């Protein structure tokens, strides 16, 4: 069943239920109020008759007195203790079918006679403080029957009109509400068929649930598109970057095939080149895998790290291998953070590797802390980075001087991996550099575990 039909059906059934409840209440209330008014009136008449008869104010026949009080379509009877009718006047003989009763305790009662309701009231006539007779007035409620008919007709007509209006209103309302949903379904079907991500046009400025839903959908599509674009960019960048070493390997292999058998110098040069390109490719592949896994899973093996021994441990082997001065400058108090040790090690190695590659002099590592934040600054006095390139230095595969990397063997992935790891720890990385003078990279990390605040950088 369609949503529109469902909505219409539910509202109509609910309206029907309300109407039945309301109409029944109105019907019974009307009858009750009318009957009560009529009962009051008849009882007052009965009391007047009783007074006249007891006081003997009126001379003449009792029937005449009763006749003077006789309402339309009614019967007045005086009944004695033995339920015998002593006097009776009527202008509607059919009312004689109503059995007389002396039970004055039942002050009033309603009976059905033919198509009408007959209201009977009883008023006692007292003599010397005892009830001796009872005046019984029964009236056919003709006016009530007519009013009830009119009321039923009015209730029926208004109910039919209400249901019809509700059906029309429901159809219009569901069409109005469901239009944006139909549009969304249409767009989603389009996406499913073509595979092209599309946004839903949001017409209204209203902040209702449907426009929020459309906005959320659009946000989701944008994110998917963004991820899709990034993935495509990544694949094309990676294949482009891998193509260069492969071309070099291919050309040297070709050289070797043609002339290498005789030329020993060419053999050595080719093998060296092929070897270094293969190493570069291996490193780049590993970095690409690192990046892919970093983007995929965001899990960290968090533990306490004392930054001073940690930095010392990373720098020591580099000092020995590269025979370079790597100085550690640290405060008196220990600086302890909560982080993934393996990943932080990777970050430090990436930054030290850059400092080693792009400078010749000493390298300094500053460890410090301020409020809730720990800082590691790696400073070199090397070639530096041009100012206008600082903003894009963290992008994947970005290198300042494409020619420069051939000697240094970089692939432009180091800094983007470092940035990713630092942001996984809710930290920040900042690079300051001056061409020809040197570079300093500062990592800022929260000291507290799972801290998500903004860094001081």
Q: Among residues 260 and 414, whose Cβ is nearest to Mg ion?
A: 414
Phi and psi at residue 90, in whole multiples of 5°? -150, 155
39 touches, from Mg ion, ligand ATP, none (C-beta below 5 to 8 Å by class) = none
Q: Please state, in angstroms and rounded to a whole number, the distance separating the CA atoms of residues 381 and 360.
A: 8
Q: Structure tokens of 38?
A: 């009529």
- Strands, DSSP E only, in 9-91? 74-80, 85-90
Q: Which does 400 bind (CB under 5 to 8 A by kind): Mg ion, ligand ATP, none?
A: ligand ATP
Q: Is 385 in the site for ligand ATP (CB under 6 A)?
A: yes
C-alpha to C-alpha distance for 248 and 405, rounded to whole angstroms: 14
Distance, C-alpha 141 to centroid of its chain: 61
Q: Binding to ligand ATP by residue 310, rule CB under 6 A?
A: no
For ligand ATP, which stretch binds (CB under 6 A), given 9-17, 68-76, 376-384, 442-450? 376-384
Site string for ligand ATP, 258-287 (x = CB under 6 A): -----------------------------x
Chain center to CA of 419: 33
What gap in Å lies between CA 76 and CA 158, rounded to an integer?
40
Residue 363 within binding range of ligand ATP, rule CB under 6 A:
no
Name every residue whose Cβ is closer than 8 Å to that of residue 98 and which is 6 or more positions away in sequence: 75, 111, 113, 118, 120, 138
Size of the site for ligand ATP (CB under 6 A): 22
**Among 23-31, 226-234, 327-335, 393-401, the segment contacting ligand ATP (CB under 6 A):** 393-401
User: Is 443 a binder of ligand ATP (CB under 6 A)?
Assistant: no
Residue 173: HSE in the Cβ half-sphere, 13 Å Cα cutoff:
11
| Separation of alpha carbons 60 and 75, rounded Å | 20
Q: Give the residue, chosen from 274, 377, 380, 443, that forms a contact with ligand ATP under the rule CB under 6 A.
A: 380
Task: Give min distance, CB of 413 to ligand ATP, in A.
Answer: 4
* Cβ nearer to ligand ATP, comparing 34 with 354: 354
Q: Which helix (H) or strand (E) holds 108?
A: strand 108-113
Query: From the list Mg ion, ligand ATP, none, which binds 119 (C-beta under 5 to 8 Å, kind-based)?
Result: none
Q: Which residue is nearest to Mg ion (CB)?
A: 414
Asked if 355 touches ligand ATP (CB under 6 A), the answer is yes
The footprint of Mg ion (CB under 5 A) covers 354, 410, 414
What's phi and psi for 133, nearest 5 deg? -140, 170
Is 399 near ligand ATP (CB under 6 A)? yes
Question: Which tokens go with 431?
Answer: 């690079």
Check binding of 439 to ligand ATP (CB under 6 A). yes
DSSP SS3 for 377: strand
Say which residue the tokens 């050289």 belong to.
Answer: 255
Report in angstroms how near the CB of residue 409 gets to Mg ion at its nearest. Answer: 9
Residues that bind ligand ATP (CB under 6 A): 287, 350, 354-355, 358, 380, 382-385, 393, 398-400, 405, 410-415, 439
């Amino acid at each position: 069943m369609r949503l529109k039909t469902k909505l219409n059906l539910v509202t109509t059934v609910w309206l029907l239920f309300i109407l039945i409840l309301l109409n029944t209440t109105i019907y019974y209330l009307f009858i009750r109020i009318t009957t009560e008014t009529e009962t009051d009136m008849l009882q007052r008449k009965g009391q007047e008759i009783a007074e006249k008869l007891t006081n003997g104010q009126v001379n003449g026949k009792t029937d005449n007195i009763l006749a003077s009080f006789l309402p339309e379509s009614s019967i007045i009877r005086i009944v004695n203790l033995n339920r015998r009718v002593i006097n009776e006047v009527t202008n509607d003989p059919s009312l004689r079918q109503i059995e007389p009763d002396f039970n004055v305790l039942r002050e009033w009662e309603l009976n059905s006679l033919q198509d009408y309701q007959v209201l009977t009231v009883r008023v006692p006539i007292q003599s010397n403080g005892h009830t001796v007779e009872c005046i019984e007035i029964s009236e056919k409620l003709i006016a009530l029957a007519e009013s009830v008919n009119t009321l039923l007709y009015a209730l029926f007509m208004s109910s039919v009109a209400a249901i019809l209006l509700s059906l029309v209103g429901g159809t219009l309302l569901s069409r109005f509400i469901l239009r944006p949903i139909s549009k969304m379904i249409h767009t989603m079907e389009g996406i499913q068929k073509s595979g092209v991500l599309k946004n839903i046009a949001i017409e209204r400025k209203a902040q209702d649930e449907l426009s929020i839903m459309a906005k959320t959908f659009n946000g989701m599509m944008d994110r998917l598109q963004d991820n899709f674009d990034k993935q495509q960019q990544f694949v094309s960048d990676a294949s482009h970057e891998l193509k260069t070493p492969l071309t070099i390997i291919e050309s040297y292999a070709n050289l070797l095939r043609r002339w290498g058998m005789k030329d020993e110098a060419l053999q050595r040069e080719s093998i060296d080149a092929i070897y270094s390109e293969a190493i570069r490719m291996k490193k780049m592949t590993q970095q690409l895998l690192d990046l892919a896994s970093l983007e995929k899973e965001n899990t960290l093996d968090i533990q306490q790290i004392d930054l001073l021994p940690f930095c010392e441990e990373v720098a020591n082997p580099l000092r020995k291998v590269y025979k370079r001065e790597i100085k550690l400058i640290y405060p008196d108090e220990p600086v302890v953070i909560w982080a993934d040790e393996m990943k932080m090690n990777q970050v430090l190695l990436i930054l030290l590797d850059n400092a080693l590659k792009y400078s010749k002099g000493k390298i300094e590592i500053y460890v410090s802390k301020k409020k809730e934040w720990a800082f590691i600054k790696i400073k070199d006095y090397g070639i530096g980075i041009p100012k206008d390139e600082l903003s894009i230095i963290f992008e994947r595969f970005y290198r300042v001087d494409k020619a420069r990397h051939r000697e240094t063997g970089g692939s432009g992935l180091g800094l983007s991996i470092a940035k990713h790891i630092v942001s996984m720890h809710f930290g920040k990385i900042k690079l300051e550099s001056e061409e020809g003078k040197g570079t300093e990279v500062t990592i800022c990390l929260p000291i507290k575990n799972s801290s998500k605040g903004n860094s001081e950088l």
